[in-house]
Amino acid sequence: MFRYAAGLLDGSPAVAVLALAVLTGPLLLRQLLLFLGFRWAMRGARQDASRVSLFAAYSAALTARRARGARRR
């Protein structure tokens, strides 16, 4: 049984797809939640000035997250 289980981990495409999904899943989920939060905040914004300020806050949040991630590496 161990030989069969070890044989699945030898670089098959299914393992590669699973590993990619596990590694990128949390990052994609964070981006999706940021986007949905931004859309939810924009739902009541009717004026261009408020839309611009919300977009500036959203892009600043993304930039701060990217800067923190770059420092860790």
Residues 6+ apart with CB under 8 A from 70: none
pLDDT band at 1 (very low <50, low <70, confident <90, very high): very low
pTM beyond 0.75, yes or no:
no
pLDDT band at 12 (very low <50, low <70, confident <90, very high): confident
The two three-digit tokens of residue 52, written as one number? 């611009």
Cβ pair 38, 54 in contact under 8 A: yes
The parent domain of residue 59 ranges over 2-72
List of long-range contacts for 59-62, beta carbons under 8 Å, 24+ apart: 61/34, 62/34
What's the domain count of the chain?
A: 1
- List the end-to-end C-alpha distance of the chain, in Å, as a whole number: 40
Q: Over the chain, what is the mean pLDDT? A: 71
Q: What is the pLDDT of residues 23-51, one digit of tens each?
A: 888 888 888 888 888 777 777 666 666 66
